[in-house]
């Protein structure tokens, strides 16, 4: 991992992320007994948005979303170049903050509620992500992503509880049921489009592209648990994604209280016990 893999992320992640979104729609449709849209439909949608007029309630909305996109790209570039995992998490959190601020700025009740739920989602997944970083440090002795990838054994063997906590919060970052609270991933949700209600045209296209970057980055964190073997890591990342789609189509949206409470309980119990286990191993 070096500067070249970081640059590769900048250029390849939106292509791979768009394909992930296309597979998402296709597989979800099959699980529901439908044919589904073409695999490249997400690219068609974004291309159409880029051609539309850019209408926003306030000009600063677009600025916040541009910061969101830039910080997501920066987060992934640092991660895939093998940088500091704590810096990666900080940049990722800041990206989420700007995304929420853009929703607050729109002055729409749907957007405002969606932004509030986005903040709650951040509060829900942060403990699991931080504990995963701590666990990886305790096993490898480093917060550098390059050192974590170079560890000779799959981290899943020593971090099963932290992996469980991480998988539990994945629906939040992929905006899927049962934790699809801030912006509706599916058309049947009651919140319209939540935080993105008042965005359209090129700004909405930027948000979609940012989510594509986000997909690849989040899957990259899942890859770290199996990174000692490249093929094992790739296969297990694919399995994680498939299981996520099954969970999405087999569950209904929960209230924010259930999301926050369950995410913290799983992180503190499964992740906390895993940390205690590592402390005992270190003697």
Residue 68 near residue 99 (C-beta atoms within 8 A): yes
pLDDT of residue 192: 61
Q: Which tokens belong to 2? A: 């070096």
pLDDT of residue 109: 83
CA atoms of 229 and 234, how far apart (whole Å): 9
pLDDT of residue 189: 52
Is the pLDDT confidence value at 193 over 90?
no
Is the pLDDT confidence value at 59 over 90?
no
Residue 101 near residue 240 (C-beta atoms within 8 A): no
DSSP calls for 158-193? T-HHHHHHHHHHHHHHTT-TTS--SS-SSTT-TTTT
DSSP calls for 105-129? HT--HHHHHHHHHHHHHHHHHHHHH
User: For a pLDDT cut of 70, what percent of the chain falls above it?
Assistant: 96
Full-model pTM: 0.93
pLDDT of residue 194: 80
pLDDT in tens, 77-126: 999 999 999 999 999 999 999 999 988 888 788 888 889 999 999 999 99
| DSSP annotation of 9 | H
| DSSP annotation of 156 | G
Give me the residue spans of the domains in the chain.
3-277
- Give whichever of 158-167, 187-196, 197-206 has the largest mean pLDDT: 158-167
Q: Range with the lowest mean pLDDT among 21-30, 54-63, 94-103, 148-157?
A: 54-63
Predicted confidence band at 23 (pLDDT cuts at 50, 70, 90)? Answer: very high
Three-state secondary structure call for residue 24: helix
CA atoms of 96 and 100, how far apart (whole Å): 6
pLDDT of residue 122: 94
CA atoms of 35 and 28, how far apart (whole Å): 9
CA atoms of 130 and 212, how far apart (whole Å): 22
Place of tokens 């600063």: 60
CA atoms of 69 and 176, how far apart (whole Å): 20
């Amino acid at each position: 991992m070096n500067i070249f893999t970081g640059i590769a992320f900048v250029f390849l992640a939106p292509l791979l992320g768009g394909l992930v979104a296309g597979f998402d729609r296709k597989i979800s449709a099959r699980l529901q007994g439908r044919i589904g849209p073409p695999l490249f439909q997400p690219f068609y949608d974004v291309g159409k948005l880029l051609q539309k007029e850019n209408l926003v309630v306030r000009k600063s909305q677009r600025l916040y979303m541009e910061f969101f996109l830039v910080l997501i790209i920066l987060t992934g570039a640092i991660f895939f170049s093998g940088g500091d995992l704590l810096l990666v998490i900080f940049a990722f959190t800041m990206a989420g903050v700007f995304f929420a601020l853009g929703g607050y700025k729109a002055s729409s009740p749907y957007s405002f509620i969606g932004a509030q739920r986005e903040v709650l989602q951040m509060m829900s997944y942060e403990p699991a992500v931080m504990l995963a970083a701590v666990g990886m440090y305790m096993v490898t002795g480093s917060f550098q992503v390059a050192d974590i990838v170079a560890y000779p054994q799959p981290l899943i063997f020593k971090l099963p509880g932290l992996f469980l906590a991480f998988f539990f919060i994945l629906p939040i970052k992929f905006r899927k049921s049962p934790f699809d609270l801030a912006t509706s991933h599916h058309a049947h949700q009651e919140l319209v489009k939540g935080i993105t209600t008042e965005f359209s045209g090129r700004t909405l296209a930027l948000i979609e592209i940012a989510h594509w970057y986000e997909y690849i980055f989040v899957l990259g964190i899942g890859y770290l648990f199996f990174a000692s073997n490249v093929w094992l890591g790739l296969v297990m990342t694919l399995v994680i994604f498939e299981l996520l789609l099954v969970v999405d189509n087999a569950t209904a949206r929960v209230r924010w209280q259930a999301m926050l409470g369950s995410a913290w309980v799983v992180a503190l119990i499964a992740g906390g016990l895993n940390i205690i286990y590592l402390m005992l191993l270190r003697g």
